[in-house]
Amino acid sequence: MEKNKVLEKLDEYYKKIGEIVNFLPKGSWEQIVVRICKDKRHNSFGIYIQKDGVFKLASEYIEIGKIDRCKFNDILSQLDDIADEIQEELCKYNQEVWKSLVFTLWDDGKYIVECSYDELDDDFRECAVWRYKKLGMIPDEQTMKYIQNMEYQHL
């Protein structure tokens, strides 16, 4: 019975995430992907928007004026609160807590949620690799130089 309660509660949270990230007008996007990485020491959020088959960071939409910066900061704050609530809910029912959650919303309202329970390794390089594998986003030259410099420093 407890597991059913958890699943129902999680479904409510995922619907809330869908409502929060559905901030662009219909027809102006195909998918919105939210990646939340969170553990006791660290948290990060990435919001990616697909239009015409190409993913871009939501921050690029801020720069061109399609998303209001204050509204976007509010979205990040709401996502942070929901991520905390989800993890608290899982702990309350002695369920394993995820380290990263990927929420994908399509413009027709359908969504999927993927969780990873592995140790969080969300450094800059790992995030760039995830973006490439999951979203097809090729790192720009500046990102590649930064990653290469980081790898050189670790030798």
Q: Among 55, 112, 125, 113, which residue's Cα sits nearest to residue 83?
A: 113
Q: CA geometry: angle at 135 spanning 140 and 31, to 5°?
A: 120
Q: Among 21, 49, 36, 32, which residue's Cα sits nearest to residue 116?
A: 36
Residue 32: HSE in the Cβ half-sphere, 13 Å Cα cutoff: 24
Contact predicate 85/13, CB 8 Å:
yes
pTM, full prediction: 0.82
pLDDT tens per residue across span 37-93: 887 777 888 899 999 999 999 988 888 888 888 988 999 999 989 998 998 888 888
- Domains, in order of start, for the chain: 2-122 (3.30.500.20)
What is the distance between the alpha carbons of residues 111 and 66, in angstroms, rounded to a whole number?
A: 23
